[in-house]
Amino acid sequence: MEVVQPKDLGQYSGLAKRRVGELCRQKRIFNARNRIIGGDTEAWDVQVCDQKIKETTEKARNETFAAEMRQNDKITCILEGRERRDRKNLCKAINDFQQSCQKPETRREFDLSDPLSLKKDLLAWQSDKDVQNTVSGMQRFMGEDLNFHERKKFQEEQNREWFLQQQREWKDARADQKRAEDFYMKTRMQFDETAKHLQNLERATRKAVCATVKEFNKSQVTESAERRSLEKKQEQEDNLAEISNLLRGDLLSENPQQAASSFGPHRVVPDRWKGMARAQLEQIRLVQKQQVQEKLRLQEEECQRDMDWDRRRIQGARATLLCERQQQRQQRDLRRALDCSNLNLAKEQLLQKKHMKEACTNHVTEDYFAQFNTKSR
């Protein structure tokens, strides 16, 4: 006969409770009226009541566990104190027995475990030149610092001397800095006094210079007025002389020899030249006609050359156009062949898709739709 354990009863009750809760939840969720209009107040009240009962039960169980834990702590403390006293008494009895009946001096091997044997024995190392320090004794090694304490003491003294020297140097530097600052202030004051004296001298000198410049300007104004009057008088005389020279000169008399230049017979002075003679004008017109005829000839040659180049360019363009048309026809044929090939491939792919769709498609049955709205979660 199977025995029902308390643990199994708890599991069964929890399972039944969850089943009831699931049924209540399904009624609330699958009821469209309650789900759309508002919440289920009765179910909320039941949940609140269940929560309060659960909290009260949990609180009572926790208080029971706490009382049991306090009782167990008291019992544990009492047992630990009793065990501690028993252990202390046992250790005390053992120590008394050993001190009274088992002294170390009464043992046969006391000489082997004597704690004062090293004090009674000779020293293993007395000095660096001790005869007992043999090579096999391993009391001296190469590289040992035997003068460590003396060296450390000497280093400490040396550090102290260095520190004192640094303090003295720092004090000397501060004194030198202070003396430099005092010297700088004295020098600055002397410079200020010198600058003030030079400023006063400059002010006095500027006043003297201004007075001198004022007198000089007055004399310059007087001299300038006299010079302008003399220049005006000289200008009037020069104008009268120039007018008389022009009236009597070759410019107004139109003498052709006055335009002859000293650089050659073919050059003239522009400001004296009155124009060319009739023979010179006829010679110039003849040269101009020759230049016009030469320019017309050159224009005809250039026009003929341009016509030749245009004819060649038209022939080249026509040949290029024929080549382009031939290439377009070839490309059109290739594109038509490619379109036909792509159309055949598209038809084959469409047929393959239809075949795969018919072969690999699962049809939906009523079992697929029947699995919805069976649970509340």
Q: At residue 374, does pLDDT exceed 90?
A: no
- Residue 374 DSSP symbol: S
3-state SS string for 173-193 = HHHHHHHHHHHHHHHHHHHHH
For the chain, the distance separating the N- and C-terminal CA atoms, rounded to the nearest angstrom, is 39
Per-state percent for the chain, helix, strand, coil, to nearest 5: 80, 0, 20
Distance from C-alpha of 102 to C-alpha of 110, rounded to nearest angstrom: 12
Hey, what are 27's tokens?
């009624």
Distance from C-alpha of 201 to C-alpha of 194, rounded to nearest angstrom: 10
Side chain identity, residue 50: D
Q: At residue 371, does pLDDT exceed 90?
A: no
Compare 343 and 143 and report the one with higher pLDDT.
343
Average pLDDT over residues 326-345: 91
Compare 120 and 361 and report the one with higher pLDDT.
120
Q: At residue 144, does pLDDT exceed 90?
A: no
Place of tokens 């430099």: 180
- Residue 126 DSSP symbol: S
Hey, what are 55's tokens?
């909290």
pLDDT of residue 162: 92
Q: Are 358 and 352 in contact (CB under 8 A)?
A: no
Place of tokens 């069964």: 12
In the Cβ-directed half-sphere of 14, how many Cα atoms lie within 13 Å?
6
Distance from C-alpha of 176 to C-alpha of 173, rounded to nearest angstrom: 5
pLDDT of residue 57: 92
Distance from C-alpha of 225 to C-alpha of 230, rounded to nearest angstrom: 9
pLDDT digits (tens, 9 = 90+) for 154-179: 899 999 999 999 999 999 999 999 99
Place of tokens 């101009």: 288
Ranges 151-160, 190-199, 252-261: which has the least confidence: 252-261
Would you say the pTM of this structure is higher than 0.75? Answer: no
Residue from 250, 290, 296, 295 nearest 273 by CA: 250
Average pLDDT, the chain: 82
pLDDT digits (tens, 9 = 90+) for 94-132: 988 888 887 877 777 787 777 777 777 766 666 556 666
Structure confidence at residue 1 as a pLDDT band (50, 70, 90): very low
Residue from 257, 280, 278, 283 nearest 269 by CA: 257
Q: Where are the domains of the chain?
A: 6-100, 173-275, 285-337
Hey, what are 288's tokens?
């101009």
Distance from C-alpha of 139 to C-alpha of 119, rounded to nearest angstrom: 18
Average pLDDT over residues 40-58: 85
- Tell the burial category of 197 from Cβ atoms under 10 Å away from its Cβ (0-12, 13-18, 19+): exposed
Distance from C-alpha of 272 to C-alpha of 255, rounded to nearest angstrom: 9
Ranges 94-103, 248-257, 327-336: which has the least confidence: 248-257
Q: Are 363 and 20 in contact (CB under 8 A)?
A: no
Q: Are 124 and 132 in contact (CB under 8 A)?
A: yes
* Sequence-distant (≥ 6) Cβ neighbours of residue 151 within 8 angstroms: 145
In the chain, % of residues over pLDDT 90 = 28
Q: Which DSSP string corresponds to 65-77? A: HHHHHHHHHHHHH
Hey, what are 214's tokens?
């004022």
Q: At residue 318, does pLDDT exceed 60?
A: yes
Q: Are 228 and 236 in contact (CB under 8 A)?
A: no
- SS3 of residue 260 by DSSP: strand
Average pLDDT over residues 28-50: 73
* Sequence-distant (≥ 6) Cβ neighbours of residue 124 within 8 angstroms: 132, 137, 139
Q: How far is CA 323 from CA 207, 306, 334, in A?
A: 100, 26, 17
